[in-house]
Amino acid sequence: MPEAAARPGRRVTLADVAAEAGVSRALASIVMRGAPGASEATRDRVQEVARSLGYRPDSRARLLRSSRTRLLGVTFTLAEPFHAEVVESVYAAAEDAGFELALSAVSPQRSEARAVESLLDLGVEALLMIAPSTPADGLAGHARRLPVVTLLSPAEVNGVDRVRSDDGAGIRAAVDHLVGLGHRRIVHIDGSGAVSAAERSSAYRDAMAAHGLAADIRVLRGGAGEEDGLRAGGELLAGELPSAVVVFNDRCALGVLEAVRRSGLSVPEEFSLTGYDDSQLARLSHVQLTSVSQQAPLLAEAAVACAAARLENREPSGLVHPPRLVVRSTTGPAAPRR
């Protein structure tokens, strides 16, 4: 190994690879870029040397030379487990498409505006915003500067592409499932102003009416978190008890589940409930929550493909995806009415 390449902390360069392989830097570059102009024997030798030296191409320098960053900025909310799953899928989709990611989190101490600002400072080519809370005029303002793709957002904004699952179809699937199990007194605990809350509540009402259960429609105020579900569960248990409940999301559903179990009711023998997102929380062995999956990998692939299309001045497609109900152990046949 060349002495310079062996020094601790020094990055192995293409010149080091070329010197060790006994070829010119230009020929080593041809091999590492996969371009024509080198024999198979030379390719094998250069690639073997690159592996042995631990050489990695300097993507930053390559991007600077190309005048493009190929960097996608992603905003997400730290407190939302499902957002983390979407981000994980976006990483895979971005790598397949030749992009790098820059993440910027939103928290109670860090606004979405600050999260976006930091990404713009990094020179991202496009923004992927997961369930953004930024008002429509703010999103439109960002879109005038660079392509903006929202994920899991019901709001239509001029100039902004929207990748989402069909919330209406997801809630209908949950209600259909419960009705198929014999449930009639089905309550909805809503998201209380959270992103997609209004759309899911409306879909619940429509689904109940479609089954001839308009008289049984009942919506309780919930929220996006576990404490919201615990509070709503307490309210639910204080009144006329339904046989099943469709909850806005998995986190809220966990709170409802805790309230129901504290009351001594057996799930699903006496009470059934469904969540939404099919997050890691729903899949925990002691939870096993029936939930609507938004299929994060499909959303991620569509969002990255949409951003790539806009950067290439192409019209994107496939922006709405069907969700899938995942049945687990929190739903079962309706118990006889007492």
The predicted structure's pLDDT at residue 57: 73
The Cα–Cα gap between 292 and 183 comes to 18
Q: Is the peptide bond before 36 cis (omega within 30 degrees of 0)?
A: no
The predicted structure's pLDDT at residue 60: 55
* pLDDT of 7 above 60: no
The Cα–Cα gap between 201 and 269 comes to 26
The Cα–Cα gap between 150 and 321 comes to 14
Sheet holding 126-130, edge to edge: 100-106, 71-77, 126-130, 148-151, 161-165, 320-321
* pLDDT of 6 above 50: no
* pLDDT of 236 above 70: yes
Rounded CA Rg of the chain:
26
pLDDT in tens, 254-282: 999 999 999 999 999 999 999 999 999 99
Q: What are the start-end ranges of the H helices in the chain?
A: 3-6, 14-21, 25-33, 40-53, 59-66, 81-96, 112-121, 136-143, 167-180, 197-210, 226-238, 250-262, 296-311
The Cα–Cα gap between 323 and 328 comes to 16
* pLDDT of 2 above 60: no
More confident site: 109 or 12: 109
- Check residue 131 and report its DSSP letter: S
The predicted structure's pLDDT at residue 129: 97
* pLDDT of 316 above 60: yes
Q: What average pLDDT score do residues 129-147 get?
A: 94
More confident site: 208 or 239: 208
- Check residue 194 and report its DSSP letter: S
3-state SS assignment for residue 246? strand
* pLDDT of 168 above 80: yes
Q: What average pLDDT score do residues 164-179 get?
A: 96
pLDDT in tens, 55-79: 877 655 555 455 577 899 999 999 8
Say if residues 267 and 250 touch (Cβ distance below 8 Å). no
3-state SS assignment for residue 186? strand
The predicted structure's pLDDT at residue 127: 97
Q: What average pLDDT score do residues 212-234 get?
A: 97
Q: What average pLDDT score do residues 284-304 get?
A: 95
The predicted structure's pLDDT at residue 58: 64
The predicted structure's pLDDT at residue 317: 84
Task: For 160-184, give one letter per residue: b (16+ CB within 10 A) or e.
Answer: bbbbbbbbbbbbbbbbebbbebebb
Q: Give every CB contact of residue 67 below 8 A, 6+ residues apart in sequence.
A: none
Q: Which of 115, 47, 40, 39 is nearest to 77 (CA)?
A: 115
Say if residues 232 and 305 touch (Cβ distance below 8 Å). no
Residue 324 has phi, psi (to 5 degrees) of -140, 125
Q: What integer best gives the mean pLDDT of the chain?
A: 91
The Cα–Cα gap between 208 and 180 comes to 12
Q: What average pLDDT score do residues 209-229 get?
A: 97
The predicted structure's pLDDT at residue 32: 83
Say if residues 75 and 106 touch (Cβ distance below 8 Å). yes
More confident site: 25 or 268: 268
The Cα–Cα gap between 128 and 91 comes to 12
Residues in the chain: 338
Positive or negative, the CA dihedral 80, 321, 181, 244 is positive
pLDDT in tens, 100-110: 999 999 999 99
